[in-house]
Structure 1
Amino acid sequence: MSSSPRSTGRHTSVVVGGGLAGMLTAAALAGAGSGAGSGSGEVVVVERDALPDGPFPRKGLPQAHHAHLLWSGGATAVDSLLPGTIGALREDGAHRISLPTNMVGLSPEGWFRRWARESHYVLVASRDLLDWHVRRAVAALPNVTVADRTEVLGLTGGARRVTGVRVRGADAVARVLDADLVVDASGRASRTPRWLEEFGVPRAAVRTVDPGLVYASRIFRAPKDLGNTFPVVVNVQAADPRREGPGRSATLVPIEGDRWLVTLSGTRGGEPGTDPEAFGDFARALRHPIVSELIAGAEPLTDVVLTRTTVNRRHHYEKAALPAGLLVLGDAVAAYNPVYGHGMSVAAQSALALRDAVARYGLSDPRLAARAQRALAGPVAAAWALSTGNDVFYPGATESGPTAAERAVAAYVRRLMRTSTGNGRVARAVTDVMTLERPASRLFTPPVLLAALLGPRRAQLTGPPLAPAELAAVAAARG
């Protein structure tokens, strides 16, 4: 897939990072899906690692082993940027899970009902398959060059304007790629803070919330004729910082190839390990053992894979005086606790916001990057509030503890979650925001505020809302 970028001439845009965020950014800048076609100018994607030619693991992406969710708000953005990609993913085995009709979820506030009418959906598949379809679609665009095994050494330009990047390719030759716009989509390991320091630009304000979460995942062979139809199971009832003990969760998602991907997580003092024998024990120790019961009779296909890089960190670049021509996007702006599954969807919506900004202002506008940075702060802020609303309360998560505003919002969200267990309209509003189809302000409209004040309209469920065939599967797993 690799091509060496030319050092002569001006590249309209250079994207640092060839992961999902970088590829979707390239699609946005190339004009894919917007009718702009090749007239949008040349786009070069620079990736340090080798990109696999297929749905295979990629170096530098350890989180690919864990459960990934592409919420409907993100899936819509992907299909707008790369039309037909979601359909191609489904043809290749990705599952479209209707919400709330095909998700079995337990929160600290109780079991969620599976309301009869679909309001949203989530796309689930292995991360390798998702990345491959996006990567292949972007590489096929006529005005995009993908240069993997190429390291970005630094930015060119200065404090007033970035004019390109210095790179070194697999041939060990250093060169300069001039650009009207440089987008850093390199993920959690972004070097933008250091690059800004080299230009004498003050670092942007940073907020870090670290609940000490550890992830452990394993893939199982799903029971015959059940792998593609079983709902997503999310069991996070113990992840409640108001009660004693660490937060824990277990998630089961069906992925391509009649497989179940099971991810366990725990905060400080309750972390899962890599011992295969203890994997089921961890899930069994939760308030409800549904996940452990399902995997008890399932054939494990992989070892247990552990990840500790789960800290929430947000750089407020939208408030900083960045040089013109520099934009930061994806996990390089805000990285979230993966248990909420928002990273990919935010990246897609951020790329869409960039495309809209380019269409409105043009690449020649010296304020384009700043305007786009402010525009993508919308989806970033919504996901940040959802991700840190609980995490900020765990001991040691922040240096000074939750702010007064965070305490107030968290109390209201807990009330909303409890109400949504027995009120379909509130459940719809919560899912509107969770899937990133609506902004967080949706939860503060008068009808939702009133419903939250009144509380649930139905009594809480006493067990998981499983259909007869699903109950039979649990019974069969129990043996």
Structure 2
Amino acid sequence: MTQSPAAGPARVVVLGGGLAGTLAAAALAPYAGDVLVLEQDGVLPATPAPRPRLPQAAHAHMLWAGGAEAVEALLPGVVDDWLAAGAHRIPIPNGMVSFSPAGWYRRSWAPTHYLISAGRDLLDWVVRRRVQELPRVRIRTGVKVTGLTGDATRVRGVQLTNAEGRRELVGADLVVDATGRGSRSTQWLRDIGGPTVRETVVDAGVRYASRRYRAPEGAERDWPVVHVAADPRADRPGLVATILSVEDGQWHVSLSGTRGGEPSSGDELFEDFARRVRHPLVAELLARAEPISGVTVFARTANRRRYFEQADVPAGFVALGDAATSLNPVYGHGMSVAALGAVALRARAAARAPLSSPAFARGARRAIARSTAAAWSLAVGQDRFYPGCIGAGPTFADRLGARYTHRLVRAATGNGLVVRKLTDVMALRRPARVLAGPAVLLAAALGPRRAPLDGPELTEAERAVLSRPPLRTPQPDTADRGI
């Protein structure tokens, strides 16, 4: 069966029914005649359940304030929907126990930001349910897109194989690629005479191991994010441990290591690895919680940027989310970048350029690239320093930037202004250039105003959890450090 682009309002085809795809549909629905989302999974769950084609959902996910506000702008009320479904809204910085490369962050500063913490399946399900209710949006499942149709001047639709194994051509005025890290659109563009799109890869070889725990009694709600970061200056593999509170009174725990320091998939080694990070706080907490799942590993974590905005891409094509820029998940920016890209897409549509016009797609590609710039710089600016990283090593400018960033992080252990500015950037609310303002430069030069902490700042309730007898005893070679 062959369909042609509509003669009236633009027809949009979105490739991928995950978070990026559904947000793209929400962004364009008010300005299109029809939005068709094509998804390879045969069935999209009607509840917060796992999807076969989303293996990274088994790992801890956070949605920083900038990303959450972007989704809220597209789907008003969605944050309340997440919270009603069991997600947590965690205030930042006082809701985070974080051991930075320069020491422990304080929690006594007033909250200025937040993040949403929940299982990825729940976050996606709430958004998908809202998008399915939008007029002019349809989601078609069980179809595999195999290429684009068109030529070097315009993309005119897609080729697909349907659930019965038959080939179809689906016409479109605009195709949005939201197929994630596995996107093949750069090849598909070449297949129709389009350009070679330049690509940069920075791969620190990060491997994730994640597991769910039943939170100890009293720790089911109002529990902070617990994060022990790696130190990229240490010239050894970067090990990271994170606890996030999620729905149903559970902790979602993710451990990660760069090339040469990867965690194992073995259940019995999970907590041993947590003791190898720079501080054993996460391991001590896990010893007092009950594991309720096995360990799941994930290793497709390279930073990859495709410069669609710099190529002479045919009209009628845009890439969004991981299909354009995929990031090391340790920084927690993937979902937020997809949401900010969708907001950029809507802003271009609201500017009244027809969705089918070359000017719209060209401007949208540039706007999406701008929305990812801060997250890309944060990720590759750290990952390039880890041993064995694949891709261009740190330049002189990178090294200067890393030294300045470390001074900022050190200042943030005792300076509230620097905490706010760093969190503005980390939460993707503000561009990285705010870190070069006069007040921030002076604060970096002067250093922290308060003496460094000698351990994590914990509440009485948090210390009470740690004071309980552990449910499991560490192996002798991992029990040599305490809190």
Name the TM-score, length of structure 1 as normaliser. 0.94
Q: Counterparts of 2:361 and 2:85 in 1: how far apart (Å)?
A: 36
Residues 320-339 of structure 1: per-residue CA shift (max 9 Å, x gap): 11111110110011111101
**CA-to-partner distance for each residue in 1:236-294, whole Å, 9 max, x for gaps?**
1xx22322421101000000000001100011221111222211111122232111111
- Tell me which residue corresponds to 1:292: 283
Question: Which residue of 1 is the match for residue 163 of structure 2?
Answer: 170
Q: Does 1:265 align with 2:256?
A: yes
Taking the TM superposition and a 5 Å limit, the aligned residue runs for 1:34-73 are: 40-50=32-42, 51-73=44-66
Alignment counterpart, residue 204 of structure 1, candidates 194, 197, 202: 197
How many Å apart are 1:385 and its aligned residue?
Answer: 0.8
1:194 aligns with 2:187: yes
Distance 2:104 2:370 in 1: 30
CA distance in structure 1 between the partners assigned to 2:379 and 2:171 by the alignment: 37
Percent identity of equivalent pairs: 52
Partner of 1:7: 3
1:282 to 270, 273, 277: 273
What is the SS of the residue equivalent to 2:12?
strand
Equivalences for residues 69-218 of structure 1 within 5 A = 69-218=62-211
Amino acid at match of 1:445: G
Quick one: which amino acid aligns to residue 32 of structure 2?
Answer: S
Report how far residue 342 of structure 1 moved: 0.1
| 2-structure distance, mates of 1:397, 1:406 | 14
Q: What is the Cα deviation at residue 211 of structure 1?
A: 0.7
376, 397, 406: which one aligns with 1:405: 397
User: Could you tell me how far apart the structure 2 residues matched to 1:401 and 1:57 are?
Assistant: 37
2:14–2:37 CA contact under 8 A, matched in 1? yes
Once the two structures are TM-superposed, the CA of residue 467 in structure 1 deviates from its matched residue by 0.8
Shift of 1:126: 0.3
**Residue 369 in 1 paired to residue 361 in 2?**
yes
> Deviation digits for residues 184-211 of structure 1, max 9, x if unmatched?
0100011111112213333222111111
After superposition, the Cα gap between the structure-2 partners of 1:20 and 1:171, relative to the gap in structure 1 and judged at 3 Å, is: same
- Show the counterpart of 1:36: none
Aligned-pair distance for 1:9?
A: 5.5
2:478 counterpart residue number: none
SS at the partner of 2:89? strand
Structure 2 CA distance for aligned equivalents of residues 399 and 145 of structure 1: 40
**Alignment partner of 2:424: what SS?**
helix
Tell me what 1:340 maps to. Answer: 331
What CA distance in whole angstroms lies between the structure 2 residues aligned with 1:119 and 1:385? Answer: 23
In the alignment, is the contact (CA less than 8 A) between 2:235 and 2:386 conserved in 1? no
How far apart, CA to CA, are the structure 2 residues paired with 1:460 and 1:68? 29
Q: Partner of 2:135: helix, strand, or coil?
A: coil
User: What is the root-mean-square deviation of aligned Cα atoms in Å?
Assistant: 1.5
Q: CA deviation at 1:8?
A: 5.5
Counterparts in 2 of 1:477 and 1:138: CA distance versus 1, 3 Å:
farther
Call closer, same or farther: CA 1:463–1:203 in 2, change over 3 Å. Answer: same
CA contact (8 A) 1:379 1:436 kept: no
Q: CA deviation at 1:406?
A: 1.9
Counterpart of 2:447 in structure 1 is: 455
Shift of 1:415: 1.3
How far residue 85 of structure 1 moved from its aligned partner, in angstroms, is 1.2
Contact 2:384 2:392 in 1 (8 A): no
- Structure 1 residue 75: Cα displacement: 0.5
In structure 2, the CA distance between the partners of 1:193 and 1:40, relative to structure 1 (3 Å rule), is: closer
**Pairwise CA distance, 1:298:** 1.2
Match of 2:388 among 393, 396, 410: 396
CA distance in 2, matches of 1:400, 1:68: 28
Structure 1's unaligned 5+ residue stretches are 32-38
Name structure 2 gaps, 5 residues minimum. Answer: 472-483
Among residues 428, 431, 437, which one is paired with 1:439 in the alignment? 431
Q: Given residue 81 of structure 1, which amino acid in structure 2 is its aligned partner?
A: L
**Aligned match for 1:351, one of 323, 338, 342:** 342
Contact 2:90/2:222 (<8 A) preserved: no
For 1:104 and 1:6, the matched residues in 2 are separated by 56
Partner of residue 34, structure 1:
none
SS in 1 for 2:428: coil
Alignment equivalent of 1:472, drawn from 447, 464, 483: 464
User: Amino acid of the residue matched to residue 62 of structure 1?
Assistant: P
Q: What is the alpha-carbon distance in structure 1 between the residues aligned to residue 153 and residue 61 of structure 2?
A: 39
Q: For 2:102 and 2:368, how far apart are their aligned partners in 1?
A: 31
Deviation digits for residues 73-102 of structure 1 (CA, Å, limit 9, x no counterpart): 010111111111110110111000000011
User: Helix, strand or coil: the match of 1:242?
Assistant: helix
State TM-score, norm by structure 2.
0.94
1:148 is displaced (CA, Å) by: 1.1
Deviation at 1:168, TM superposition (A): 2.0
* In structure 1, distance between residues paired with 2:305 and 2:390: 13
Deviation string 1:432-460 (CA, Å, 9 cap, x unpaired) is 00000111111111111121111111111
3-state SS in 1 of match to 2:129: helix
Partner letter of residue 464 of structure 2?
A
CA shift, 1:364, in A, is 4.0
Cα shift at 1:43: 0.2
SS at match of 1:166: strand
Q: Secondary structure at the match of 2:233?
A: coil
Answering whether residue 383 of structure 2 is matched by residue 383 of structure 1, we say no
Shift of 1:6: 8.2
Identify if the C-alpha distance between structure 1 residues 369 and 392 changes in structure 2 by more than 3 Å, giving closer, same or farther: same
Distance 1:400 1:70, change over 3 A: closer
Query: What is the CA distance between 1:376 and its match in structure 2?
Result: 1.4
SS where residue 234 of structure 2 aligns?
coil
* One-letter identity of the residue aligned with 1:129: L
Distance (Å, rounded) in 1 between the aligned partners of 2:469 and 2:238: 26
Q: Which residue of 2 aligns with 1:35?
A: none
| Deviation digits for residues 335-358 of structure 1 (CA, Å, limit 9, x no counterpart) | 111010000001001000000101
Aligned to 1:425, the other structure's residue is in SS state helix
Task: Find the partner of 1:252 among 240, 243, 247.
Answer: 243
Q: How many residues align?
A: 466
What corresponds to 1:227 in structure 2? 220
* Distance in 1 separating the partners of 2:260 and 2:236: 8
Residue in structure 2 matched with residue 323 of structure 1 by the alignment: 314
- For 2:23, the equivalent position in structure 1 comes to 24
2:97–2:107 CA contact under 8 A, matched in 1: yes
One-letter amino acid matched to 2:3: S
Query: Aligned letter for 2:240?
Result: S
**Which SS does the other structure have where 1:78 is aligned?**
helix
- Opposite residue 235 of structure 1, the aligned amino acid is V
